[in-house]
Chains A and B, each alone.
Chain A
């Protein structure tokens, strides 16, 4: 089985079967990262351009590692280093990159829909590494991978996602994915940070932390950006933390074996108590580890058609 599109622009357009395929494939790649020689020749001779128009450390390094472990040649463009600061448009930048015939463009952009725009003009496979407040598909995939690793299933789980839902691309991708795989999702946060009509995506919304966490199998906390403070979204970090901060006491409202997730970077004492972030049920660092395997799986599956990528030989761990 293959993915239907040569791009990964979002979770919304994937079928449940495609999502499971990516997760299953990632499982077989996970083993590579535990080897002494953490490299396979799967994407040898392929070129990946990491086009990051917005600062990112976690996602960019995770993609870079995934590319290197698959033996792809990768190069990094970032907004500050590129001609974008000289006034070049995105489309001209993309055409210039295309002229060098890369196989993949991994793009992070601060504006929603930018990878979709790029995909209309490019022959390369576009992988969305986060666009504005829209989607962050590989984050949702690595979150799902981590949930499945810890809980052995996704169907029927109760997942609470709490924080700045309005501005979060992580939420949208997670909601699409978790709903497609049968989880119940409750979104928590103040009404000022809740986008309109999000219930139509099949989720419930709660403005009370206690209610949001009640009986949760998975708690996913979102980063609160300090600049939202005092801008009408919430009056102060202190009040936000009092209302929605994840404390040890509140964790007890969830199921006894609930896991705690965060896409990072975390703000200790803003959305999450240090003891919780570092606690026994925190899987925050597993998420980071799993990100590499998931991104390897995405690159591998999108490369699908390649003559030198025979799954039976190249697929590791079999």
Chain B
């Protein structure tokens, strides 16, 4: 099977490419990138004219919750995989907080088996730091990694014990995987449900102060520094956290960080009206925090964009604000939000944008993808930076609809997703 992508603007920051080129895919691999590749005489390839569109290495969402096993009513590996494909992602890394928890090799095996059978995109499991996510004993990290886990994390819950976090950072060094930190000091978080500040005061909702995140970000950076372990901070949400990561990087600490589209788009003001689709952890923060995240995405303090796709059933979200679970879906809006808020605003170059969504997460997770180098697996994302869309949750492939962005007009959209040379989604 041969696919010829013609006349697209190829943006591949992994190799410093940004020019109009044709891309030939053969046998699931990138075969060549050249100006004006002619069609073969036999016509044995499928050809797409992508003039005006951008061809990029397949996007990777390094932080999603696929809910399987355990909560297949919210999402499955299949439905989450379809949502990823429709959202322009060729790979996702799924967090360990399933039921049962992915803290042992049989759950990792199950996820990979389901993914191979049913998901149109590549699924990389993240193993748990601690057994049962209880924060007490390390899980069998060596076995998890041997079976295919690409990182370890108790995401959804912080690792409250500094001792255990230190041990996780030390122990994981043997396997070369990063420890992904959901940075939140539980005693400071103290049951808070939104950012603490003027708006929590106005709305009478219990505040979750930025400091609850920042003290944990600092703790983990310091532990990474003393252990030499690889630390990745999930969903950075405050200006203080961005600055901590920036200065740690300058000191040479092995730390990376991601930010979500909702944190670079929305602020705590969205909570006026008590919409439970605005409820997630970390919470939406102040405008200054959002601006600091935008700056961090630009200057490299933040390495990657990840959606923290967290599906929940409608009936779970259609309740009083305090009762609703934390989390929003993101796979099917992430790319459009990035294009609208980061590229259409001229904050970032297209090349930096693509890096945040592909090469950077590949590097953090140690994946071979995130590049269009000839010989590599043909994982490709094709998108328009101009096409205007309106977010319509009723069209989501995800089993859940808990998005804060329903009805929002955005400039930019993923149009074609190719995984291993196979077109898994096309909207053109």
Are A169 and B315 in contact (CB-based, < 8 A)? no
Whether A236 sits at the interface, judged by CB under 8 Å, is no
Whether B198 sits at the interface, judged by CB under 8 Å, is yes
Give the residue of B204, B206, B318, B323 whose beta carbon is less than 8 angstroms from that of A172.
B204
CB of A22 to closest CB in B, whole Å: 22
Within 8 A of A (CB), among B196-248: 196-198, 200-207
Cβ contacts under 8 Å, A172 to chain B:
202, 204
- CB closest residue in chain B, given A91: B318
A119 to B321, CA, bound (A): 14
Cβ contacts B165-207/A at 8 Å (1 or 0 each): 0000000000000000000000000000000111011111111
Give the residue of A91, A169, A195 whose beta carbon is less than 8 angstroms from that of B319.
A91
Cβ contacts under 8 Å, A223 to chain B:
none
Cβ contacts under 8 Å, B407 to chain A:
none
Whether A28 sits at the interface, judged by CB under 8 Å, is no
Our count of residue pairs bridging A and B at CB distance below 8 angstroms stands at 64
Central interface residue in B196, B198, B273, by most chain A CB within 10 Å: B198
Whether B291 sits at the interface, judged by CB under 8 Å, is no
Within 8 A of A (CB), among B102-127: none
Cβ contacts under 8 Å, A131 to chain B:
204
Whether B48 sits at the interface, judged by CB under 8 Å, is no
- CB closest residue in chain B, given A136: B204
Whether B274 sits at the interface, judged by CB under 8 Å, is yes
A131 to B204, CA, bound (A): 9
Cβ contacts A114-135/B at 8 Å (1 or 0 each): 1011000000000000011111
Cβ contacts under 8 Å, B273 to chain A:
116
Give the residue of B197, B198, B204 whose beta carbon is less than 8 angstroms from that of A112.
B204
Assess A117 versus B320: contact at CB under 8 Å? Given A196-B198, A197-B198, A200-B198: yes
Whether B26 sits at the interface, judged by CB under 8 Å, is no
Are A89 and B315 in contact (CB-based, < 8 A)? yes
Assess A113 versus B320: contact at CB under 8 Å? Given A89-B315, A196-B196: yes
A200 to B197, CA, bound (A): 10
Assess A113 versus B205: contact at CB under 8 Å? Given A89-B318, A89-B319, A90-B319: yes
Cβ contacts under 8 Å, B315 to chain A:
89
Are A112 and B201 in contact (CB-based, < 8 A)? no
Q: How large is the interface on A (under 10, 10 to 19, 20 to 34, 35 or more residues)?
A: 20 to 34
- CB closest residue in chain A, given B319: A89
Assess A196 versus B200: contact at CB under 8 Å? Given A113-B321, A117-B320: yes
Central interface residue in A114, A116, A117, A131, by most chain B CB within 10 Å: A117
Interface size on B, residues (CB 8 A): 20
A103 to B274, CA, bound (A): 24
A201 to B198, CA, bound (A): 9
Within 8 A of B (CB), among A166-200: 169, 172, 195-198, 200
Whether B322 sits at the interface, judged by CB under 8 Å, is yes
A85 to B206, CA, bound (A): 24
Central interface residue in B202, B204, B319, by most chain A CB within 10 Å: B204
Are B203 and A112 in contact (CB-based, < 8 A)? yes
Assess A114 versus B202: contact at CB under 8 Å? Given A196-B196, A196-B197, A196-B207: no
Are B204 and A132 in contact (CB-based, < 8 A)? yes
- CB closest residue in chain A, given B205: A112
Cβ contacts under 8 Å, A109 to chain B:
320
Whether A111 sits at the interface, judged by CB under 8 Å, is yes
Are A112 and B318 in contact (CB-based, < 8 A)? no
Are B274 and A112 in contact (CB-based, < 8 A)? yes
Are B204 and A133 in contact (CB-based, < 8 A)? yes
A117 to B203, CA, bound (A): 13
A132 to B198, CA, bound (A): 17
Are B197 and A197 in contact (CB-based, < 8 A)? yes
Are A198 and B201 in contact (CB-based, < 8 A)? yes
Are B204 and A117 in contact (CB-based, < 8 A)? no
Central interface residue in B196, B198, B201, B318, by most chain A CB within 10 Å: B201
Cβ contacts under 8 Å, B205 to chain A:
112-113, 132-134
- CB closest residue in chain A, given B323: A111
Cβ contacts under 8 Å, B320 to chain A:
90, 109, 111, 113-114, 117
Within 8 A of B (CB), among A1-44: 12
A117 to B201, CA, bound (A): 19
Assess A169 versus B204: contact at CB under 8 Å? Given A91-B318, A111-B321, A117-B274: yes
A294 to B207, CA, bound (A): 32
Cβ contacts under 8 Å, A198 to chain B:
201
Are A111 and B318 in contact (CB-based, < 8 A)? no
Cβ contacts under 8 Å, A169 to chain B:
204
A90 to B323, CA, bound (A): 10
CB of B202 to closest CB in A, whole Å: 7
- CB closest residue in chain B, given A131: B204
Cβ contacts under 8 Å, A196 to chain B:
196-198, 200-201, 207
- CB closest residue in chain B, given A232: B190
Cβ contacts under 8 Å, A134 to chain B:
203-205
A198 to B202, CA, bound (A): 8
Cβ contacts under 8 Å, B322 to chain A:
111-112, 132
- CB closest residue in chain A, given B187: A232
Cβ contacts under 8 Å, B321 to chain A:
111-114, 117
Cβ contacts under 8 Å, B207 to chain A:
195-196
- CB closest residue in chain A, given B190: A232
Cβ contacts under 8 Å, B318 to chain A:
89, 91
A131 to B320, CA, bound (A): 11
CB of A98 to closest CB in B, whole Å: 15
- CB closest residue in chain B, given A171: B204
Are B203 and A195 in contact (CB-based, < 8 A)? no
A90 to B207, CA, bound (A): 23
CB of B263 to closest CB in A, whole Å: 20
Cβ contacts under 8 Å, B200 to chain A:
195-196
Cβ contacts A192-214/B at 8 Å (1 or 0 each): 00011110110000000000000
Cβ contacts under 8 Å, A111 to chain B:
320-323
Central interface residue in A196, A198, A200, by most chain B CB within 10 Å: A196
CB of B375 to closest CB in A, whole Å: 55
A195 to B273, CA, bound (A): 20
Q: What is B's interface to A at a CB cutoff of 8 Å?
A: 196-198, 200-207, 273-274, 315, 318-323
- In the assembled complex, 26 residue pairs joining A and B whose CB atoms fall closer than 8 Å, in A order, are A90-B320, A112-B204, A112-B322, A113-B203, A113-B205, A113-B274, A113-B320, A114-B320, A116-B273, A116-B274, A117-B320, A132-B205, A132-B322, A133-B206, A134-B204, A169-B204, A195-B200, A195-B201, A195-B207, A196-B196, A196-B198, A196-B200, A196-B201, A196-B207, A200-B198, A201-B202
* 9 extra interface residue pairs, beta carbon distance < 8 Å, beyond A109-B320, A196-B197: A89-B315, A112-B205, A113-B203, A113-B204, A113-B320, A132-B204, A132-B205, A133-B204, A134-B204
